[in-house]
Amino acid sequence: MSELEYDPNLHTAELDAREDHAPGDEPEESAGHWVRNSNLGLGFSIVLTLAAFLAVGSHLIWGPAVGVALIVLAIGQMGVHLVFFLHVTTGPDNTNNVLALAFGILVVFLIVAGSIWIMGHLSHNMMPMDRLMQMQP
């Protein structure tokens, strides 16, 4: 028996229900489970996408509220994709994945909202272009 005979990294093909899981991965190996998840994801996504295009194409929603409705539908569809396609869930085996995702969302929020906020203020406080031109010597 050599010392090298045992290598924990050798057994990487099968997952155990009791360990943590990376996104896109689950202990469930049966194809039917993955097909069912894909079907559900596709079904929900089609409904949400059609709703988004309908919200714009028809006048079912009060005009000024369309933007908010679109954002809500987009966030909902991203959630559907995360759960059914990427298999990121709220289960205890997914804690690390969800924490990383939460940090990513925080950074995305800071970048997008911060940029819009700061640049909006800058442009609001800027002197109109015609007056700026008059001040040129």
Q: Which residues bind other proteins (CB under 8 A)?
A: 8-9, 11-13, 15-16, 18-25, 29-35, 37-38, 41-42, 45-46, 49, 52-53, 55-57, 63-64, 66-67, 70-71, 73-74, 77-78, 81-82, 84-86, 92-93, 95-97, 100-101, 103-104, 107-108, 111-112, 114-116, 119-120
Q: Which of 4, 14, 18, 21 is nearest to 90 (CA)?
A: 21
Q: Please say which residue, 63 or 137, places its beta carbon nearer to other proteins.
A: 63
Give every CB contact of residue 66 below 8 A, 6+ residues apart in sequence: 55, 56
Least distance between other proteins and beta carbon 86 (Å): 5
Q: Please say which residue, 64 or 137, places its beta carbon nearer to other proteins.
A: 64
Structure tokens at 100: 């990383």
CA separation (Å) from 24 to 76, 118, 121? Answer: 19, 37, 41
